[in-house]
Amino acid sequence: MLSSAYLLEECHINYLKTKDYGIGSDFLPEKLAMPMKFTADRIRYGQPLLEYAYGYALNNWKLTDDQNPESIHYKNSEIFPNVDKPITSGIELIRKFHGSECEAGFVLIHVVIDSKTDLLTAAHTKMFEGAQAKNREVMNKGLEMHLDTLNLMNDIFKKIWTVSSPQNYLKFRTFIMGTQGNEDIFPNGVTYRGVFDEPKVYRGETGAQDSIIPSVDNAMGLDYPRNSLTEYLFQMRAYRPYNH
């Protein structure tokens, strides 16, 4: 969070004033670069810049009600009986940039979706059991569980604008931008002082770094053509947690 803020603070200020990002910092000082690289190495993560799982989203929340976190117990597509409670009720964002409810909602809706991945894993396990035993009934049950889980995840995701206004997205978006793909902001890349001799570029934080869809692709044995979109998705593999 500190490293992204250091690189992009001027861009954030410029955008709020002029709607133009301008130029970001082309270096990280040693006091940020060295512990950033050290931490990335310790968790066997190769990209020392803010990303989705470890940094901004999936490890950036806590329960506010241990007994009844409504979001984590969201089981179906029905809206909560108490409409005053958003789908992200019961959990709270820890580290923030803008600090608004919209930023928290934008991040936490992804957390709620990922809290259902145990259902997806159970579905795939059932599918594989059926396939191994050549039991069509068991295989079909796994496929039904798979479809139900994806429908549930999509129902949750459709509620994103109930917890995060799209008009406020650009108030915190700047800080999750990367150095790769933003050459107009980082024309010279970023030098990690005390770590790398040459400038580096990395992708920014994005839900495309989540493991849900790749796990579905793997379970279904899907292959993709090589084009500009899939090349980007292949790059995202390097931005997932080591054990994924």
> How confident is residue 39, by pLDDT bands cut at 50, 70 and 90?
very high
Q: Mean pLDDT for the chain?
A: 91
Res 68: pLDDT: 59
Q: Which of 85-121 are b and which e, b meaning 16 or more Cβ less than 10 Å from the residue's Cβ?
A: ebbbbbbebeeebbeeebbbbbbbbbbbbbbbeebbe
Task: Please identify, in words, the CATH class of the domain defined by 2-239.
Answer: mainly alpha
Domains of the chain: which residue ranges? 2-239
pTM to 2 decimals?
A: 0.88
> How confident is residue 59, by pLDDT bands cut at 50, 70 and 90?
very high
Tell me the residue type at 161. Answer: W
SS3 assignment, position 62: strand
Using CA atoms, how far apart are residues 65 and 67, in angstroms rounded to an integer? Answer: 5
Res 41: pLDDT: 94
